[in-house]
Amino acid sequence: MEHKDFVNLLREYREIIWPIIEKNLEKIVDFEKVCQPKEKYQCLVDYHQKIYETYPKRKGKYFRPCMVMLTGEAMGAPRESLLNAAAAQQLSEEWILIHDDIEDDSAQRRGEATLHKMYGEELAINAGDALHILMWQMLQDNRKIIGDKKTFAIMEEFCKMLNRTVLGQTIEIKWAQENKKDLTDDDILLVLESKTGYYTVAGPMREGAIIAGATTEELDKIYEFGKLTGYCFQIKDDLLDLTSDFCGQKKQCGNDIYEGKRTIMLAHLMRTIKGNDKEKLEKIMTKTRQEKGCAEVDWVIEKMREYGSLDYADKLMNKFAVEASDYFKKELGFLKESPARSYLEYLPEFLTNRDH
């Protein structure tokens, strides 16, 4: 399999999932007759809709819903039974990103201004809330597609996944606020497992598997594969943040440094940097995002190269990719339907070799 094959697959799934999301977005302003705003206020309803539709209409890569689809199909589930859950998974990304961008004070999302830079924090938070509510509505609507038992099992999985995700966010923000300097790889992996291992890979895969009728043992094995693959995904993402413009979608490198985010490479640099360099690094990392200058961020990236932090992260990522591939071959034989199995087996290689 080639890299372009997986990229084309993501586009294919996006084309079939987006219409479901687009249709559901109308539900947010589809009020019951008893509470329908008067016609003279329709301009305000339209304004509300314009804001909350902004991120969904930009369309991400749709990686997470792809994981729902591939895993369910690899276990023999009909495609139609997976689409609504996959769409809800993508919608979860939209509201999480809105809130995440506010917490990080990010300037760009998918090549354009972040929602809070466009409309202010209050309206951006509100738009995120609207999409959050719609996500649960869509999950409830699964009752018509897969029945009550599987619907509630999927909703329970969302609760577990999202609870672990916000724990990871709490820890990440806390360490950045404290300018914590003595973090180990295990510390960083705690956050990576929460925000990427579970939310980006394991959770979506488990949703597809639940719809396909997976056992508890099979779900546990999917989690382990997702955790290892999620490590690869996030370490690669963090490396690209330092070295890539994400094919023109980012105006600056080093956003994680501006935000004070604790990554594998920053933790490694803090452990290994010496002398005056160490003092300068600590001084830079005590500054807020707005206080850090481009030259300072570039200096940190250069020191990551000089002290081997980028190479260290790359080697660790590839180690996890090998472990994930070996685990897939050994333990995930129940994901047997082709071509879905082949795409999932290729996943560690795809994530470690991508350029955006």
pLDDT digit string, tens, across residues 217-233: 999 999 999 999 999 99
Domains contained in the chain, number? 1
Which residues, in sequence order, are CB contacts of 33 under 8 Å at separation 6+?
Answer: none
Q: Is the pLDDT of residue 251 over 70?
A: no
Q: Span 116-141, mean pLDDT?
A: 98
CB 275: neighbour CB atoms within 10 A? Answer: 7
pLDDT at 249: 53
Range with the poorest average pLDDT among 133-147, 165-179, 240-254, 284-298: 240-254
Is a pLDDT exceeding 60 seen at residue 155?
A: yes
User: Which pLDDT score, from 0 to 100, does residue 245 have?
Assistant: 64
Q: What is the largest CA-CA distance in the chain?
A: 70
| pLDDT class of 355 with cuts at 50, 70, 90 | confident
Average pLDDT over residues 144-148: 97
Read off the pLDDT of each residue in 84-110 and give the average, rounded to a whole number.
Answer: 96
User: Following CA atoms 250, 257, 262, 299 in sequence, which dihedral angle do they give, to the nearest 10 degrees?
Assistant: 130
Looking at the predicted structure, is the pLDDT value of residue 248 above 60?
A: no
At 108, give phi and psi (nearest 5°): -135, 150
Q: Per-residue pLDDT for 247 more than 70?
A: no
Domain that holds residue 257: 3-353
Q: How confident is the model at residue 253 (pLDDT cuts 50, 70, 90)?
A: confident
The pLDDT of residue 2? 87
Rounded to the nearest integer, the mean pLDDT of the chain is 95
Q: Give the integer Cα–Cα distance in Å for 227 and 40.
A: 51
Region 248-266: mean pLDDT is 84
| Residue 290 tokens, joined | 């707005």
Would the pLDDT of 197 be above 60?
Answer: yes
φ, ψ dihedrals at 76, nearest 5°: 90, 10
Q: For residue 113, what are the β-bridge partners?
A: 108
Could you report the per-residue pLDDT of 159-184, keeping only the tens digit for each?
A: 999 999 999 999 999 999 998 989 99
356 — pLDDT class (breaks 50, 70, 90): confident
In this prediction, residues 60-68 reach a mean pLDDT of: 97
Q: Is the pLDDT of residue 205 over 60?
A: yes
Q: For the domain that residue 164 is a member of, what is the CATH number?
A: 1.10.600.10
Question: Could you tell me which residues come within 8 angstroms of residue 281 by beta carbon, excluding any fewer than 6 positions away?
Answer: 269, 270, 273, 300, 303
Quick: pLDDT tens for 27-47. Answer: 999 999 999 999 999 999 999
Contacts of 307 by beta carbon, 8 Å cutoff, 6+ apart? 268, 269, 272, 273
Mean pLDDT for 281-302 is: 94
Tell me what the mean pLDDT of segment 42-64 comes to: 97
